Amino acid sequence: MAEKILINEVGLRDGLQMQPKFVPADGKLELANALIDAGLRSFEASSFVSPKAVPQMADAADVFAGLPDRDDIDYWALVPNERGYDRAIEAGVRNVALVLSVTDTMNQENIRMSVEESAIMFERVLKRCAQDGIKSRAYVAVAFVCPFEGITPVDTVVRWTDRMLSAGAEDISVADTIGAGTPTQCKDLISTLVGKWGADKFCLHLHDTRAMAATLAWVAAEEGIRKFDASIGGLGGCPFAPGAAGNAATEDLAFMFESSGYETGIDISGLRKAVGVAERLTGLTLGGRITKWWLSQEAKQAQAAQ
C-alpha cells in the first residue's frame, strides 16, 4: 500500500495575506471549495491577526463561518496572541497555529518581542488549547535562514521545537520562511528533528524563492516527513518585490509525490482549476513549476480533439 502524504493548503492564509487586491470572504470560500473539490483536506484558512496590520485577513471570522462543515477536513487558523485566540475560538476554530520565529532579530522585526517573550506568550495559548480541546501547531519560523542573522543553527531550532512541544503543541511546522535553505541543510535539520521526536511531529513549510522547494520536500520525505504546507499556484510572497517567490506550489508537491508513488488524495487536474480561481481572484499570473507541463498537455489534447 502506498504511503500517504498530507498537503496542508496555506494559500488562503500565507498565500493571500500580503496580496494587495482584497479578496472578499466569498472569493476565499470559492477558492477553498475548488481546493476541496481537488481533494485537499487540510487548510490554513485564515489568521486572527490585527485587521489593521493585515487587512486581507480582516474577514477571518466570515471565512470560518462559511467553510463547509465536514468531519474529514481540518481547518487551521493562525493566531498571534491570546486576543487572537479569543477571536478564533469565538469564530468556532478547532485547530490553532502559532508562529514562533526562532531568531530574536526576526521576531523583533515581526512582532516586537524576543523569542523568549513570544514563547512565554505561546505557552499560555497552548495551555488554553489543551484546556479547550483545541488542536495546536507551532511554526518554528526562519528555521533555515534568518534574513537578519543568516543561517539558523540546528541547535536553535531544536531548542525552540523542544520548548513548543513541551508546552503542548501537537506538531511543529518547520518553516524555511524566506526560501533560502539547501538540500544539505534540510537533510541535516530534518534528520536531527526526526531523530529526537519522530517524523509524525513535523510538517515542512517551504518557499520556492531559490527554486529548491520541491527538492527540499523530497529530501524531507526521505527522512520520513509526510506533512507539507503548500500554496495553490505558488501564491504568496510580496507582489511589490519583483521576483520574490511565493510558497511551494501545491500542484508541484502533489504532482511530484503522486508520480513518485505516494498517495496525496489530490486530483491534479482539480488543482489546475483551483489555480484558475486563484488567478481570477487575485489578478495575478500564478502556477507552480509544472505549469509548462500542464500547458503542453492541454495543447496536445486540443490538437488531438481537432
3-state class of 98 per DSSP? Answer: strand
The answer to whether the beta carbons of residues 9 and 230 sit under 8 Å apart is yes
Q: From residue 87, give the alpha-carbon distance in Å to each of 26, 167, 264, 272, 286.
A: 20, 21, 32, 34, 32
Place of cell 507582489: 239
Distance of closest approach, residue 288 Cβ to a copy of itself, in angstroms: 7
Q: Of 50 and 215, which has the nearer Cβ to a copy of itself?
A: 215
Distance of closest approach, residue 278 Cβ to a copy of itself, in angstroms: 18
Binding site for a copy of itself (CB under 8 A): 182-185, 209-212, 214-215, 218-219, 241-245, 252, 255-256, 259-261, 288-290, 292-297, 299
Q: Of 197 and 262, which has the nearer Cβ to a copy of itself?
A: 262
Q: Of 115 and 274, which has the nearer Cβ to a copy of itself?
A: 274
Cell numbers standing for residue 131: 484546556
Q: Of 273 and 289, which has the nearer Cβ to a copy of itself?
A: 289
The answer to whether the beta carbons of residues 204 and 213 sit under 8 Å apart is no
Residue type, 182: T
Neighbours of 217 (CB within 10 A): 25
Return the ∠ at Cα 211 (arms to 224 and 28), rounded to 5°: 80
Distance of closest approach, residue 206 Cβ to a copy of itself, in angstroms: 13
186 is catalytic: no
Distance of closest approach, residue 87 Cβ to a copy of itself, in angstroms: 35
Neighbours of 145 (CB within 10 A): 20
Name the residues annotated as catalytic: 238
